[in-house]
Amino acid sequence: MKKIDLHIHTVSTVFDAPFTFALSALERYISEAAIDAIALTNHNIFDRAQFAEIAASIDTAVFPGIEVTLDCGHLLIIADVSHLDLFERQAKQINERITQPTDCITIDELLVVFGNLAEYLVIPHYDKKPAIKGRALERLEHLVSCGEVDSAKKFIRVIKSDAHVTPVLFSDARACETLKQIPTRQTFVDCGEITFGALKACMQDKRKVALSENDGNRLFQVFDDGQRISTGLNILLGERSTGKTFTLDRINASHDRVKYIRQFSLVQQDDAAYEREFSRDLQRTRSQFIEGYLAGFKAVLDDVMGVNLRTDEGAVENYISSLRESAEEADRRDAFSNTALFDESEFPISDDRVLSDLIGSVRQVIENVEYREIVERHVDTRALRTLAVELIELLWAKKLESKKKSLVNGLVKDIKESLKRRTSAIQVQDVDLYRVMINKRKIERFSDIVKRLQERATISEEAVQGFRVVANKSPFSGAGEIKDASGVKTAFREAFAEYEYPYAYLQMLLANDALTRSELYKLFVKINYRILNKDGFDVSGGERSEFRLLQEIKDAQNFDVLLIDEPESSFDNIFLRSDVNQIIRHISTAMPVVVVTHNSTVGASIGADYVLYTKKTVEDSQVVYRLYSGHPTDLTLQALDGRKISNHEITLNSLEAGAETYDHRRLGYEAIKD
């Protein structure tokens, strides 16, 4: 197995934070990390002179490359040294086109510059920002050798799926003077002699890439000293003050997107403070739920807020009045009032939102990748593209017509104003009767929607490891409840008097300058968000801690690594065994998890994939913290310096206070057994 890192930066560009290249730093990284092959992939530039200097200075294989900024994401292009002259010319064209941080090129431009990309290693940012996805990735699919990810979790997820390309994990490091911590993100490939062709063949085969040299994808390097942990579930054991929390802190500091549940962080210590914290968390979750549930109603409300029935009624009355007066004075009209434009109405301007939304929907069906197979089974996508083109052409035509009407309306309005100043005749006031009727219908429909929205009902019920999260909706019962929902110190008594009449109530809210218009949708219906225990009652203090732990662990799925420091310090064994162990084990199938424990319920029953043990010794008057590791079934655990320790002994000492204590307790249990 060869260890490679094909994403290293050695030139500071406008796309990087400033750094100064140091050959010594690159040599130290290659030596300490035992790298067999690297590629220089600077942003939109290839420095041939620097490449030659580096290749001549180190024994490791060095490949020329470039990281190209596309309009759809970033792409690594790596060449064979035998194509160096051609690659240099092509990279120069990229450098000439992309000079500023806002610059980029399209896939079409990339293909024009490089021609036959099949001759190169093409590695897009795959599950790493800025990632190339969707149709852009499909266009490059036949050229892509593998896809770059940015964590062990994502590597495992991608390599397990037949729908994804081969994943690779690279450092994306800057070889500079300030490089203190040796990067830990590299990929092993099952390759004999390192040649460009051999690397390319290996990286297209998922069976030939791995996170570790001897343990495949079961282990990955976690520290720059070479220490490895499992990509699944790790148990960290050790006596007090031997470096367990220090080890968790190191993992937290050396990796991005880490979920760290610290010891005692969820324990209820101060009742009042804990109550406030729990309430804040609950309120935050409730607000997110309300925002999602009422999103459709918010769109309706935003539209209705632009309707003023009183203004519409006034416009109709003015129209009728002016029409009557104009008819009564018909015999007194002069040359100005008799012109055709004097009483001319303006063109109505159509609303093209429905057509725009329809075009967006058609495009979504065409561009959807996840469900493309199903779509193409039932719909001819060529016909959809034709439909999209026709709809877009229609939208352009309607927008052009609207612009013409707006221009004519402006001219008509100016002429009518000019004619009005030159005559004493009554001019008939403009009114869009169709719009007036539509607005009236909108208000009627709005009132129906609000009434249905306020009907009492359970709108969400979710089971969470023995708890139930329930959301109910109902009408507000008083002004105080509306005030609490608004979060604003203002009076709602007068507004609540109109609560049964949705449009009148809305007008009262709009008249209150203390309220933010974008938040008014929350004041029409009361949503009660509760957490219940298995008996259907609101959770108690201890149950709140249990629920928060489960939520914190569940939230970890959005991160790349989960660290938990001694969960037994806060919870009883029944809860740990039946709930915590189960969910931790489930999460560890998708991401690395490290649990510090002294408790046999967690340590022995959870079914760990890997064991870590910290030990403190004094050597030559110096305190040394040493980390041992191995599989749960190994007879011994081994440190990086080769020292070994009995797995059986340290497990019993850590989880059972020693073999003698364990035997004594076991006999005691048997003595009272029925």
Q: What is the pLDDT of residues 453-462, one digit of tens each?
A: 999 999 888 7
Q: What is the pLDDT of residue 644?
A: 93
Could you tell me the pLDDT band of residue 234, with boundaries at 50, 70 and 90? very high
DSSP symbols for 631-647: -TT-SEEEETTS-EEEH
Q: Is 80 exceeded by the pLDDT of residue 662?
A: no
Q: Is 60 exceeded by the pLDDT of residue 671?
A: no
Nearest to 94 by CA among 68, 56, 75: 68
Angle at 379 between CA 373 and CA 380, to 5 degrees: 100
Q: What is the pLDDT of residue 531?
A: 83
208 CB contacts (<8 Å, ≥6 apart)?
Answer: 189, 190, 191, 202
DSSP symbols for 174-240: E-BTT--SPP---EEE--SS--HHHHHHHHT-GGGEESSSSSTTSEEE-STT--EEESSEEEEEE-T
Q: What is the pLDDT of residue 656?
A: 59
Query: Contact 346/411 with Cβ under 8 angstroms?
Result: no
Q: What is the pLDDT of residue 655?
A: 62
Least confident of 75-89, 306-320, 576-590: 576-590
Between CA 631 and CA 610 the distance in angstroms is: 5
Angle at 79 between CA 75 and CA 83, to 5 degrees: 145
First-to-last CA distance in the chain? 57
Q: What is the mean predicted confidence (pLDDT) over 407-417?
A: 88
Could you tell me the pLDDT band of residue 170, with boundaries at 50, 70 and 90? very high
DSSP state, residue 430: P
Domain 2-219 class in CATH: alpha beta
52 CB contacts (<8 Å, ≥6 apart)?
Answer: none
Q: Which single residue is written with the structure tokens 């029944």?
A: 574
Could you tell me the pLDDT band of residue 330, with boundaries at 50, 70 and 90? confident
pTM over 0.75: no
Could you tell me the pLDDT band of residue 551, with boundaries at 50, 70 and 90? confident
For 422-451, what is each residue's pLDDT tens digit?
A: 877 777 788 888 889 999 999 999 999 999
For 238-266, what is each residue's pLDDT tens digit?
A: 888 888 888 999 999 888 899 998 876 65
The CA-atom distances, in angstroms, between 184 and each of 173, 191, 484, 541, 590 are 10, 20, 50, 42, 20
Q: What is the pLDDT of residue 15?
A: 92
Q: Is 70 exceeded by the pLDDT of residue 197?
A: yes
- The most confident of the ranges 263-277, 290-304, 568-582, 659-673 is 290-304
Between CA 505 and CA 494 the distance in angstroms is: 9
Q: What is the mean predicted confidence (pLDDT) over 481-493?
A: 91
Q: Is 70 exceeded by the pLDDT of residue 600?
A: no
Query: Contact 556/259 with Cβ under 8 angstroms?
Result: yes
Mean pLDDT of the chain: 86
Could you tell me the pLDDT band of residue 674, with boundaries at 50, 70 and 90? low
Please report, as a single letter, which amino acid is at residue 154: K
Could you tell me the pLDDT band of residue 482, with boundaries at 50, 70 and 90? very high
Q: Which two tokens stand for residue 377?
A: 């089974």
Q: Is 90 exceeded by the pLDDT of residue 215?
A: no
Alpha helices in 465-606 (DSSP H): 479-486, 493-496, 502-510, 541-555, 573-575, 581-587, 600-603
Between CA 406 and CA 554 the distance in angstroms is: 55
Q: Is 60 exceeded by the pLDDT of residue 411?
A: yes
Least confident of 228-232, 265-269, 374-378, 597-601: 265-269
Q: Is 90 exceeded by the pLDDT of residue 276?
A: no
Percent of the chain scoring above 90 in pLDDT? 50
Q: What is the pLDDT of residue 265?
A: 60
Between CA 279 and CA 262 the distance in angstroms is: 21
For 29-73, what is each residue's pLDDT tens digit?
A: 999 999 999 999 999 999 999 999 999 999 999 999 999 999 999
Q: What is the pLDDT of residue 663?
A: 54
Assigned architecture for domain 233-257+559-671:
3-Layer(aba) Sandwich (3.40)
